[in-house]
């Protein structure tokens, strides 16, 4: 797996902006990492890179939020509270995953069996320093 060492949030921004340029409709980006590792923060920079000018807020209580002001629609999932995959079917997740936009899924390990075969996974770990992160990418 490709391993990227991030020293600070500025580098997270650079990574997110560059990643956004490579994303295409139908991409599912799965973010797997503990609380505070920067999943929402990275999503904000991806949104910025897509040209989205709306404020990105954590969709913890709604499961998914849609942003349509950028180059591609962004569907931002936080599936932390999902206890049963049925909850994903109830919100019609397939229309998002196989739709016309980009999906970013926080806590994607919670719905691993629903992730498409070609999902792009980033495992996020903390480094030794407060602002350091290690990204392990499957793509």
Ligand X SMILES: Nc1ncnc2c1ncn2[C@@H]1O[C@H](COP(=O)(O)OP(=O)(O)O)[C@@H](O)[C@H]1O
Helix (H) / strand (E) containing 15: helix 9-22
Q: Tell whether residue 9 is a contact of ligand X (CB under 6 A).
A: yes
Q: Which two tokens stand for residue 117?
A: 């075969």
Q: How far is the CB of 40 from ligand X (least distance, A)?
A: 3
Question: Which is nearer to Mg ion, 55 or 117 (by Cβ)?
Answer: 55
Q: Tell whether residue 110 is a contact of ligand X (CB under 6 A).
A: no
Whole-number Å distance between alpha carbons of 29 and 22? 12
Among 101, 15, 103, residue whose Cα is nearest residue 64: 103
Q: Which two tokens stand for residue 99?
A: 């739709």
Count of other CB atoms within 10 angstroms of residue 69: 12
Interacting span for ligand X (CB under 6 A) from 30-38, 47-55, 84-92, 94-102: 30-38
Q: Tell whether residue 120 is a contact of Mg ion (CB under 5 A).
A: no
Site string for ligand X, 64-103 (x = CB under 6 A): ----------------------------------------
Residues in the site for ligand X, rule: CB under 6 A?
Answer: 6, 8-9, 12, 33, 35-41, 106, 131, 133
């Amino acid at each position: 797996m490709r391993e990227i060492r991030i020293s600070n949030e500025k580098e997270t921004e650079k990574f997110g902006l560059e990643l956004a340029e490579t994303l295409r409709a139908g991409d599912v980006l799965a973010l797997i990492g503990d609380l505070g590792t920067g999943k929402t923060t990275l999503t904000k920079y991806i949104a910025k890179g897509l040209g989205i000018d709306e404020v990105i807020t954590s969709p913890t209580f709604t499961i998914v939020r849609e942003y349509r002001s950028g180059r591609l629609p962004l569907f931002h999932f936080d599936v932390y509270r999902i206890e049963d995959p049925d909850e994903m079917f109830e919100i019609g997740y397939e229309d998002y995953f196989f739709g016309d936009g980009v999906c970013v899924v926080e806590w994607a390990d919670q719905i691993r069996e629903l992730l498409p075969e070609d999902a792009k996974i980033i495992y996020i770990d903390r480094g030794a320093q407060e602002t350091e992160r290690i990204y392990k990418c499957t793509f």
